[in-house]
Structure 1
Amino acid sequence: MISCWGVRIALRVVSSIVLLMVLLLSVCVPPGVAEAHDQSKPVGNTKEIEKMDHAAAILYRDVMDGNIEKARADVAEVSRWFGTGQVQAALSVEAIHALSGSILEVQQATQSVQASPDEWVKAAANLRLATDALAHPRQPLWQQYYKILREDVSSLNNQFAKGNMKGFKDSTAVLEDHYETIRTAALIHGRTTEVVRTDSWISYVKGLGDQQNADASAIRGALDQGNPTFNALFGREKDATALASFIPYESERRAEIAIGMIVLLALIYAGYRKYRAGFTG
């Protein structure tokens, strides 16, 4: 006959198994499934942020259409929403500084008689991506630049392999231009450390390209860090695991936890079976 002590131990073991099963289910469910009903409205979004993002979208459209007079009014509207408390509260100090700089850049571009249409578009695009990063943190538009910047790094490598330093400098300028377009958005998205790293890398590569007799080994070493630098900036520094290649990237850590818990659960169950065998054998 099983003693009261034995019953209590058995209940504790069963309770532990149930708890682990609940935890296992919680880590196995992909975040997107549990939050699918709220995908249309990102966490932390507010009316002020939505209005600012909408104004920036209109601004970008008017700039692309060449309607600069209308764009000037659009900038004022973006600036008005930027000054609200809800928008400021959603931003870090670095992001506030960067976003205010983007707004000022558009103001200067649209008011200057010497500014070219390309400068208008570049400034408006920077601001458009920045406000979108705040309004849609789960799927920001600036992430679409990943492929573009990787191709820019590839172009740098090709020009260096050909020994074409003029082409190397031109490719560096193109890469920097594309990067500056998303820099504010990346800061708003919380990639501050990665932005500092990218700033330093681009500055170093530019410096090497400007040298009359640049050290080839130094350039090669810098280029080797190009893809890792942008992988980190876009949050893609970790390769997909062979064990769970079907699981989305953002769920890899959950998969690792789940696998560990499956092993632990199996061990507990085996111990429980052995414990029961001791009373029935």
Structure 2
Amino acid sequence: MKKNIRFLMFFLAIGLFLSWPIHSLYSKLNQPIEEQQLVALDQIANEFLTYAKKGDLEGAQQRIIQLAEKFPNQHLTYPIRIESLNAVTQSILAAKKSFASTNVSEQQLLWHATQVRVAIDSLTHEHQPMWRSYYPSLVTQVQNLQQSAVERNYNQFREQFDENYRLFLAIKPGMSIQLPEDQLASISAAYDVISKEMRNAQMDWQLVREALRDLNGSIQTAFVGEEKSTFARLMMRPDSPLAILFSISIALVAALAYVAWKKYNGEIRSA
């Protein structure tokens, strides 16, 4: 009996060990051609950002040219709003233009590279997009803005707002692909109120603080308000590796239970 249990445990370990590579192979073999092309685009976008971070402008320029050529002919695996599609297209074209110029700062080039990378990533990573990883930075900046608004420190507020708004614009095309239109509009509206107030000769700090509260609430809703857990999302997918692991475990546990029952039944009969 112990020998049988050891065999079953051995096969359980083998099944768990092989489930992930089998799942990966199955996913690749059954991946539609459009999805394979999107994965290739995502790889190019990743290389584009990597070259930009390293300061390899020639390598980065080659990658953005490839993206500009391939993206207009790309068939998406799911429908998106025309505004979102235009936002991604414009981010690619703006990056291409900037990298072709000789009088753009490295910081601006890196900003364009980040915007393109985040946007392309949103097309290929529905459940864990890159733009969500910017939540801690974004919300910390908003909290700093709220503190500056309380202190009515205009110069500090202006500097912090410019930095925060640039970050939002960098991830906005990626966000627009996956967020409901009204959620993105509420964030943009709050920024517009603050930006308009900053152009006035005399700022209404009370109005700015109210807009910042609205902005903070809209960001919370967009980033974490309706997010499901990663485990739940994975388990709901029919091709989930966790579902495969769960199925193998259930089958082997059932086999172990059957062996234990047979042993118990045999002992009862021999008693």
TM over 0.5: yes
Counterpart in the other structure of 1:72: 61
Distance 1:250 1:212, change over 3 A: farther
Instruction: Return the match for 1:195 from 151, 175, 184.
Output: 184
Query: 1:165 and 1:63 mapped to 2: Cα distance?
Result: 33
Counterpart in the other structure of 2:41: 52
Q: 2:55 is paired with a residue of what secondary structure?
A: coil
Query: 1:228 and 1:86 mapped to 2: Cα distance?
Result: 35
Counterpart in the other structure of 2:200: 211
Counterpart in the other structure of 1:94: 83
Instruction: Return the match for 1:138 from 127, 149, 163.
Output: 127
**Aligned-residue offset at 1:210:** 2.8
Counterpart in the other structure of 2:106: 117
Distance 1:163 1:250, change over 3 A: farther
In the alignment, structure 1 residue 180 sits paired with structure 2 residue 180? no
Distance 1:85 1:70, change over 3 A: closer
Give yes or no for contact 2:38–2:74 (8 Å, CA) kept in 1.
no
Q: 2:225 is paired with a residue of what secondary structure?
A: coil
1:245-260 alignment, distance < 5 Å: 248=229
Query: 1:217 and 1:144 mapped to 2: Cα distance?
Result: 31
Distance 1:249 1:62, change over 3 A: closer
Distance 1:169 1:237, change over 3 A: same
**Aligned-residue offset at 1:171:** 1.2
Q: CA RMSD in A?
A: 2.8
**Aligned-residue offset at 1:230:** 0.6
Query: 2:108 and 2:162 mapped to 1: Cα distance?
Result: 15
Give yes or no for contact 2:35–2:77 (8 Å, CA) kept in 1.
no
Structure 1, unpaired ranges of 5+: 1-36, 240-246, 252-281
Give yes or no for contact 2:190–2:212 (8 Å, CA) kept in 1.
no
Structure 1 segments of 4 or more deviating over 2 A? 87-92, 190-193, 209-212, 236-239, 247-251
Counterpart in the other structure of 1:237: 225
Counterpart in the other structure of 1:163: 152
Distance 1:54 1:208, change over 3 A: same
Counterpart in the other structure of 1:82: 71
**Aligned-residue offset at 1:249:** 8.7
Query: 1:88 and 1:105 mapped to 2: Cα distance?
Result: 25
Give yes or no for contact 2:149–2:157 (8 Å, CA) kept in 1.
yes
Query: 2:42 and 2:59 mapped to 1: Cα distance?
Result: 17
Distance 1:183 1:57, change over 3 A: same
Distance 1:49 1:70, change over 3 A: same
Structure 2, unpaired ranges of 5+: 1-22, 233-271
Query: 1:218 and 1:61 mapped to 2: Cα distance?
Result: 41
Number of residue pairs matched by the alignment = 208
**Aligned-residue offset at 1:214:** 1.8
Query: 1:70 and 1:59 mapped to 2: Cα distance?
Result: 7
Residues 46-89 of structure 1, C-alpha deviation per residue, up to 9 Å, x if partnerless? 01111111111111111111111222211121123212242386
Identity %: 20
Residues 210-264 of structure 1, C-alpha deviation per residue, up to 9 Å, x if partnerless? 3222223212221221211111222x2369xxxxxxx94996xxxxxxxxxxxxx
Instruction: Judge which range, 70-79 or 47-56, deviates more.
Output: 70-79
Give yes or no for contact 1:79–1:103 (8 Å, CA) kept in 2.
yes
- TM-score of the two chains, using structure 2 as the length reference: 0.69
AA in 2 matched with 1:108: K
AA in 2 matched with 1:237: G
- TM-score of the two chains, using structure 1 as the length reference: 0.67
Query: 2:157 and 2:97 mapped to 1: Cα distance?
Result: 31
Give yes or no for contact 2:41–2:67 (8 Å, CA) kept in 1.
yes
Query: 1:95 and 1:70 mapped to 2: Cα distance?
Result: 27
